[in-house]
Amino acid sequence: MTSVVEARQARRGWSPQAAVLLVAGWLATVGNLPLWRAVWALPEHNGWRGLVFSAALAVWIGAALVVLLSLLAWPRLFKAVAVVLLMVAGASTYFMLQYGVVIDSTMMVNVVNTDPREVRDLLSWTLLFSMLLVGVLPALWLWHQDILWRRWWPQTWRNAVASLLALGVLGAVTIASYQDLASLMRNHKHVRFLFNPLNVLYGGGKLVAHTLPQASLTLQAIGQDARPGPTYAATTRTPLVVLVVGETARAANFSLGGYSRQTNPELGQLRSDGGLTYFTDVLSCGTNTQASVPCMFSHLGKQAYEAGRQPFENLLDVLHRAGLAVLWLDNQSGCKGLCARVDQVITRTLDDPALCGGGECFDEIMLKGLDQRIAALDPARRARGVVVVMHQMGSHGPAYYRRSPPAFKKFMPECASNVLQDCPREQLVNAYDNTILYTDHVLASTARWLDRAARDQPLDTALVYVSDHGESLGENNLYLHGLPYALAPQQQIHVPMLTWLSGPMQKRLGVRQDCLQKSATAPLTHDNLFHSMLGLLDVNTSVYLPRLDLFAGCR
């Protein structure tokens, strides 16, 4: 017996409980730099009061982590869990410090769905620093420490006691600083998403809870009664509609909507020529691509879409079922499953010498050879009508400067760094405005191509454009997008939307352009897209709701 005790004492190492405390303490303090920065920036928490409250918060987070880590304090398991937590904390520290974003489940979907090109956009020295300081160095240190594990039973009860004690501390701190905690949560809702790495664990758990049941559910068909409406019998001409899904374009920077800089010279000309309507008051469904794009194509609308778990078919399936040819052109991160049952061409990976480079292509690539791409679609469907969706690269950040070709760099100097805070704000806005100027050119070129098609061929053509979400450009020290919707500033959810109808399409639908112009200031949302597309293409189905069709009131 004595020899066992001596042997234990001879081994130098940490008790499991000490190791748990060290990891939890490190994460609760150094791992929460963005939280301390946010708390100290609040007017009610300066000076001593701020210090005491920050300390209480650190103890609260530390205790919560001890509760969790104590339950996982087992040989082999503990170090692995701790290393993952440290790395995750390092990465989310970087995102929060760098972009003023908070970490919730929608933000995490972004990260999970990030492709290598986006990762390259995000690499920077700050990332290296955050990862090294918060994650890698403590993880390396921990990995090389000896932890003096006990036998199964003594370890179990020690873990249980430690976890219960920490739970007690958590409760005591909550009660002691309840007033401050409650007012913080009430007045500054976003702060709770800064609790690192609890925010990641919570968001991840929510995500799994939401996606797992969905994965096992079967896709529900919608619009099984979809048929071409009366216009198809009334004329031998066929519809050709292009729907452009914009990326990260915010309404605030569209001169069509009143922005003081001329970012829409070509579209502005089209509006003067007639046919183009810019809708000034449109809200997005979500604050990131992954949330907004499937919602836009859903018949459910934002509220029911977010509440439901059942996966449904989408707009493209209904159009396809009505017998139309549907083609999805993707110049970005993919169609999020929307185009699974229609034709798709990925243009991002093409190697056109003039438009492509560095693993991506400028958005004009989607217009290149479009006649041939359409000619290759199913002839029977093509004879009825064609819908082309263009998924833009648009204004995808943070490397805005990569998204506009040299000819469209009119606002200079522009920020040429991924580290947005390193640039003066004017340069950041310049780089962003150049992407809007380029989108202006892409949209106007598409409208001109459709105009020619309507003149040269028996085609009734139209263009619809709407962005998926907006962007913060440093307002209130916020950057990029992806804030939880309820907390998101206007810049992230107010999106540009426009329609352009060729003369023949106006005639086909009996839509009066002056009436559309008058309705251009009415409040709209992404909910209107599904029904307006069905209205524009005159597809009859029971899922179509005329009250959400922005053309319906102007027939």
- Are the C-beta atoms of 499 and 462 separated by less than 8 Å? yes
Instruction: Show the site string, 125-164: x = touches Zn ion by CB under 5 A, - = not.
Output: ----------------------------------------
Sign of CA dihedral 36, 37, 40, 44: negative
Mark the segment that binds Zn ion (CB under 5 A) among 193-201, 348-356, 468-476, 532-540.
468-476
For Zn ion, the closer of residues 70 and 392 by Cβ is 392
Going across the sheet that includes 343-346, the strands are 343-346, 325-330, 386-391, 238-246, 459-467, 494-501, 276-283, 524-525
Encoded tokens for 94: 């970087």
Answer yes or no whether residue 289 interacts with Zn ion by CB under 5 A.
yes
For Zn ion, the closer of residues 333 and 499 by Cβ is 333
For Zn ion, the closer of residues 397 and 535 by Cβ is 397
For Zn ion, the closer of residues 34 and 246 by Cβ is 246
Q: Write out the DSSP string of 444-496.
A: HHHHHHHHHHHHHSSEEEEEEEEES---EESGGG-EES---GGG--HHHHEEE
Secondary structure (3-state) at 200: helix
Secondary structure (3-state) at 231: helix
Mark the segment that binds Zn ion (CB under 5 A) among 92-100, 179-187, 284-292, 333-341.
284-292
Pairing relationship of beta strands 227-228 and 386-391 according to DSSP bridges: unpaired
- Minimum gap (Å) between residue 86 Cβ and Zn ion: 30
- Which helix (DSSP H) or strand (DSSP E) does residue 158 occupy? helix 152-176
Count of residues interacting with Zn ion (CB under 5 A): 3
Pick one of 317, 363, 451, 468: the residue that binds Zn ion (CB under 5 A). Answer: 468
Rounded CA gap, 146 and 206, in Å?
A: 35
- Minimum gap (Å) between residue 298 Cβ and Zn ion: 16
For Zn ion, the closer of residues 16 and 397 by Cβ is 397
For Zn ion, the closer of residues 24 and 361 by Cβ is 361
- Minimum gap (Å) between residue 292 Cβ and Zn ion: 6
- Minimum gap (Å) between residue 210 Cβ and Zn ion: 20
- Minimum gap (Å) between residue 290 Cβ and Zn ion: 8
- Minimum gap (Å) between residue 291 Cβ and Zn ion: 9
- Are the C-beta atoms of 421 and 98 separated by less than 8 Å? yes
- Minimum gap (Å) between residue 481 Cβ and Zn ion: 7
Answer yes or no whether residue 461 interacts with Zn ion by CB under 5 A.
no
Name residue, tokens 């729907």: 243
Answer yes or no whether residue 433 interacts with Zn ion by CB under 5 A.
no
The DSSP bridge partners found for residue 246 are: 467
Answer yes or no whether residue 472 interacts with Zn ion by CB under 5 A.
no
Report the chain's C-alpha Rg in angstroms: 27
The DSSP bridge partners found for residue 205 are: none
Exposed (0-12), middle (13-18) or buried (19+): which is 182, by Cβ within 10 Å? exposed
Question: Hey, how many other C-beta atoms are within 10 angstroms of the C-beta on 512?
Answer: 13
Interface positions, 208-267, toward Zn ion (CB under 5 A): 247
Mark the segment that binds Zn ion (CB under 5 A) among 35-43, 230-238, 463-471, 489-497.
463-471
For Zn ion, the closer of residues 433 and 468 by Cβ is 468
Answer yes or no whether residue 440 interacts with Zn ion by CB under 5 A.
no
- Minimum gap (Å) between residue 248 Cβ and Zn ion: 5
Instruction: Show the site string, 303-322: x = touches Zn ion by CB under 5 A, - = not.
Output: --------------------
Mark the segment that binds Zn ion (CB under 5 A) among 85-93, 299-307, 464-472, 507-515.
464-472
Residue 39 corresponds to which amino acid? V
- Which helix (DSSP H) or strand (DSSP E) does residue 66 occupy? helix 47-71
Rounded CA gap, 445 and 354, in Å?
A: 17
Q: At what angle do helices 198-216 and 47-71 cross, to 10 degrees?
A: 50
Answer yes or no whether residue 330 interacts with Zn ion by CB under 5 A.
no
Q: Rounded to 5 degrees, what angle do the CA atoms 119, 120, 123 make?
A: 85
- Minimum gap (Å) between residue 130 Cβ and Zn ion: 24
In this chain, which residue has its C-beta nearest to Zn ion?
A: 289
- Minimum gap (Å) between residue 380 Cβ and Zn ion: 35
- Minimum gap (Å) between residue 289 Cβ and Zn ion: 3
Answer yes or no whether residue 363 interacts with Zn ion by CB under 5 A.
no
Which residues of the chain form contacts with Zn ion (CB under 5 A)?
A: 247, 289, 468
